[in-house]
Amino acid sequence: MNDVLISTEGKVGRIRLNRPRAIHALTTGMCESVLAALTNWREDTAVDAVMIDHADGRGFCAGGDIRMLAESGADDGAAARDFFRAEYRMNHALFTYVKPIVAFMDGITMGGGVGISQPARYRVATENTKFAMPETGIGLFPDVGGGWYLSRLAGRVGQYLAVTGHRLDGAECLALGLASHYLPSETLDAAKAQILADPQAIDTLLDGLSVAPPPAKIEAHRTDIDRLFASDTLEDILAALASDGGEWAAQQLMTLNGKSPQSMKVSLKLLLDGATMPTFEDEMRQEFAVATRVVQRHDFIEGVRALIVDKDNAPRWNPATPNGVSDHLIDQIFAPLPENAAWTPH
């Protein structure tokens, strides 16, 4: 069975993720196939638009092949580097694509799923959408352009999402600009059929099928988020949450106490840098350098063990406290790679 189904229907290039048992988590081969299709369609005048969705099963895309990355990280890291190189090239190709892309974020859209939906001009959320960048819980960080997308959200929502891994629903995605349209899931088949029939009219078709979403729950906490997550220094955020005295702040503090201190610091630095990155190519180059190092460090291998392999949900982070994660360590993780090892878009 092909893990990704690639076809042309009418004047639309179709990319359908097809690993239902893994909630369509991306493999190196899947990323390479998508990149090859995008390259083929770029100059093809018979293709007017690209559509990305999932074939069967629940969820759009749960992320990347985490077990493989951890096994590679514990070894020489070569397979992990190959994966990140291919994935980020796919992300960059999507981001710089001139033809319109429609991504259907129906169900779980996390990690790598965020990376293939956010570059799309049209990002369709539904009542089933569960959107998150939960990487700090496994010792990783919100990559695939997370430093770019999250740093550009209003206020401090991006920083909040990056460190807590908080899940958003479809209505919240629309309110924050992470989705461009909100459709009931039962209308998706009709939407896809209409786009296949007339890819020149995607705007009109999606606008016509869109409905008003329920209230976005995150709006009730926007002022708290902007106030309590105001700093780019993790210790300041933890102190603000601890001294707040409110129930919501106490919940966030409990959440952060379970995350990797190294990962949270990497995430804050990523968003701080990402906000002023000149181009998405620069963002991907930096994220590749960070990813190749983090994937071989203790916290990622331990996080995958605790949450995915042994499932004891009791990761032993090292360093165990934010104070133990020195600025020097973060600088080492973020140092540019030598030119012959650095990420390139082609």
Q: Which of 63, 107, 112, 303 is catalytic?
A: 112
Residue found by looking up tokens 């995915």 in the block: 308
Could you confirm whether 64 is annotated as catalytic?
yes
Catalytic option among 13, 59, 64, 137: 64
Alpha carbon of residue 42 to chain centroid: 24
Active-site residue, selected from the candidate residues 135, 283, 299, 302 = 135
With beta carbons less than 8 A apart as the criterion, state whether 262 and 135 touch: no
Burial class (CB in 10 A: 0-12, 13-18, 19+), 158: buried
Q: Is 3 a catalytic residue?
A: no
Q: Is 208 a catalytic residue?
A: no
DSSP letters, 98-126, are: SS-EEEEE-SEEETHHHHHHTTSSEEEE-
Q: What are phi and psi of 45, to 5 degrees?
A: -70, -10
User: Quick check: 125 and 181 in contact, CB under 8 A?
Assistant: yes
Catalytic residue among 143, 224, 283, 287: 143
Classify the C-alpha dihedral 190-195-198-201 as positive or negative.
Answer: positive
User: How many residues are listed for the chain in this entry?
Assistant: 346
**Distance separating alpha carbons of residues 181 and 173, to the nearest angstrom:** 9
303 is catalytic: no
Residue 103 pairs with which residues in a beta bridge? 52, 123
Query: Do the beta carbons of residue 161 and residue 223 sit within 8 Å?
Result: no
96 DSSP assignment: T
Rounded-to-integer distance, Cα 153 and Cα 147, Å: 11
Beta strand 12-17 with 49-54 is parallel
Q: Which residues are catalytic?
A: 64, 112, 135, 143
